[in-house]
Amino acid sequence: MTVELWTAGAGMPGRTASIARRAEDEGWDGLALVDSQNLAPDPFVHLGLAAAATSRLGLATGVTNPLTRHPATMATAIASVQAESGGRAVLGIGRGDSSLAHLGLAPASPAAFERYLARLQGYLRGDEVDFEPELDGGRVAAPADSLAMAGGPKSSRVRWIAAAGPKVPVDVAATGPRVIAIAARRADRITFAVGSDLERVRWAIEEVRAACAAAGRDVGEVGLGAYVPVVVNPDRDAARSLISGGVASFARFSVMHGRVTGPTDDRSRAALETIHHSYDMDHHFTHGSPQSQDLPAAVVDSFGIAGPPAYCTERLGELVELGLTKLVLLGGGIGMDREAARQSRCLLAAEVLPALR
């Protein structure tokens, strides 16, 4: 089975173009850039830079959220990347995490997220989307009709979007059953954030199948993928230590509200609950963070893949055999030893990616 292999990171002023060129040269199928306005540069600007520097690399947000941009603004931003890249854009979106935490907010509610996705898809298709002045204006602006103008738009549409090329696919990052079901109804693709454990990924796939059946949708219409933290190192124990910062933050998605989502044994459940209670957003995805201390090997191996090239290849291949067609491989986290990070990246490109083709 063919699988898309994506790398992920943040835009870096003065370096994003060269990072994108390197990713393309190494054989990656796509590059996803984080959208977290207090922690990283604007991803749409940097995806545009990456588009100009490459010719085939897929370009995605990894991931954006439904609160910091109006859906028309979001559609225009990613359609601009679509136009400049010749049709290589993907909009990765979730309920929000660090981007909202740094605004003092929790993730969007599932109901609000689904409403946003419905409107966003309308804008991306070029549809007329109903005004929702109470939702969009809040206490900041009155409806436009309060101005008693002689004429004006009666609904909202991104009028230029047909010139951008094919509709941009919406790829929802999903962990729990409610968001998986929303994605099955509203998204073009679903990329799981449930870990690397086969039982957990099978569970997520079954959730999609059930949700598609309930919605009367063919599950074959929905592309399925997974976010997976990966560190390649000849020493498995060293690899587990190096990946701990990234794995702890990634595993938190499965216990964000204090209750573990998906199949988990008792020992791992206790470790995940410890991550929840010790989580420090000021050290999000950071090596040596409070939440990454003393992670059991079983948790590291359930939510990430850490070890020699052959081991990482085998584990990733097992995910592909489940039917996933896209893997977004995350690194070990901020502050990971630079030489170890460089070695991991080189081994991924030289040994793991070719073996998965």
pLDDT tens string for the chain (357 positions)? Answer: 689 999 999 999 999 999 999 999 999 999 999 999 999 999 999 999 999 999 999 999 999 999 999 999 999 999 999 999 999 999 999 999 999 999 999 999 999 999 999 999 999 999 999 999 998 988 899 999 999 999 999 999 999 999 999 999 999 999 999 999 999 999 999 999 999 999 999 999 999 999 999 999 999 999 999 999 999 999 999 999 999 999 999 999 999 999 999 999 999 999 999 999 999 999 999 999 999 998 999 999 999 999 999 999 999 999 999 999 999 999 988 999 999 999 999 999 999 999 999
> Which pLDDT value is given to residue 294?
85
Q: For residue 322, count other CB atoms closer than 10 A to its CB.
A: 14
Q: Which class for 155: exposed (0-12), middle (13-18), buried (19 or more C-beta within 10 A)?
A: exposed
Between CA 147 and CA 234 the distance in angstroms is 68
Q: Determine the length of the chain.
A: 357
Give the pLDDT score at 1.
65
- The confidence score (pLDDT) of residue 138 equals 81
Q: Tokens at residue 61, please?
A: 């947000």
H helix or E strand, kind and range, residue 32: strand 30-33
Query: Are the beta carbons of 161 and 79 closer than 8 angstroms?
Result: yes
